[in-house]
Amino acid sequence: MKHLYAGYDGQAIMEDLTFDIGKGEIFVILGGSGCGKSTVLKHMIGLVPPVSGQVLIHGQDMVTARGKARTRLLQQIGVAFQNGALFGSMTLLENIMLPMTAFTDLSDDAAKTLALAKLGLVNLNRNSHRLPGELSGGMRKRAAIARAMALDPEVLFLDEPSAGLDPLTSAELDRLIRDLAQTLGITFVIVTHELESILTIADNTIMLEKETRGIIARGHPKDLKADPENEYAYRFFNRNPGKEMIS
């Protein structure tokens, strides 16, 4: 990301964001509610054009790419949206098969086998015939990750993967992300403010702040947790709701 001004309709809500994400890294974008994390993510996946700046994937700018170049870039990334965004009228298997049949010449049988392999990664191959509406929240999130991985992308973007999940399911999802990153070497870019998740999975983070309209901290979460210099980040990582309530 180079000198990115994030926002809508020419109005920047985040200014001059520059950061790099290494291959195979689990990179977390942090920040308070409404600071613009999801907007930055939308710019990164090419859903909304930024006010200005560049989003480079292997040196190719996602912002200016058009036509086939853009399609090639989009095939290198996968996105799992906050609510899964699975197609409700299709079974899980059909959801995963959709990008495969749309972008390759795979036969139905071949696409089915590949889709089952993806569902197996997230431990949902036994539920491949079910509709998304028949699944729990955690299963839907896992299915969304499987669909995002349909074309073996190099970078996987996850928007609030733990939102609305109980701590155990959330921890299970964290393990899955770690496992996928290690096994498949996928780079993960995750927008979240779930403290437990960040401390468990993140290799690198940036913290955005609404007031300063930029990055106020960056680095490994354990370093940020131990660094009292940056007051906001320190408070974020060392919050103790119990103590605050008592005081």
For residues 145 and 227, what is the distance between their CA atoms, to the nearest angstrom? 33
* 3-state secondary structure (DSSP) of residue 238: coil
Beta partners for residue 207, in sequence order: 30, 217
The answer to the question of residue 146 lying near another protein (CB under 8 A) is no
The answer to the question of residue 211 lying near another protein (CB under 8 A) is no
Binding mask 88-107 for another protein (x = CB under 8 A): xx---x------x--xxxxx
The least CB distance from residue 52 to another protein, in Å, is: 34
Nearer to another protein, 55 or 121 (CB): 121
Residues touching another protein, count (CB under 8 A): 33
* 3-state secondary structure (DSSP) of residue 155: strand
Comparing CA positions, the residue from 61, 26, 54 lying closest to residue 157 is: 26
The footprint of another protein on residues 166-195 (CB under 8 A) is: 183-185
Q: 226: which residues sit within 8 A by CB, 6+ positions away?
A: none
Q: At what angle do helices 92-103 and 137-148 cross, to 10 degrees?
A: 10
CB 20 within 8 A of CB 74: no
Nearer to another protein, 34 or 120 (CB): 120
Nearer to another protein, 130 or 218 (CB): 130
* Contact stretch for another protein (CB under 8 A) within 10-18, 87-95, 168-176, 238-246: 87-95
Beta strands in 75-162 (DSSP E): 77-80, 155-159
Distances (CA, A) of 114 to 103, 213, 232: 14, 43, 45
* Contact stretch for another protein (CB under 8 A) within 62-70, 108-116, 189-197, 211-219: 108-116
The answer to the question of residue 152 lying near another protein (CB under 8 A) is yes
The answer to the question of residue 200 lying near another protein (CB under 8 A) is no
**From 129, 220, 222, 239, residue interacting with another protein (rule: CB under 8 A):** 129
- Binding residues (CB under 8 A) for another protein: these are 87-89, 93, 100, 103-107, 109-110, 112-114, 116-121, 125-126, 128-129, 133, 149-152, 183-185
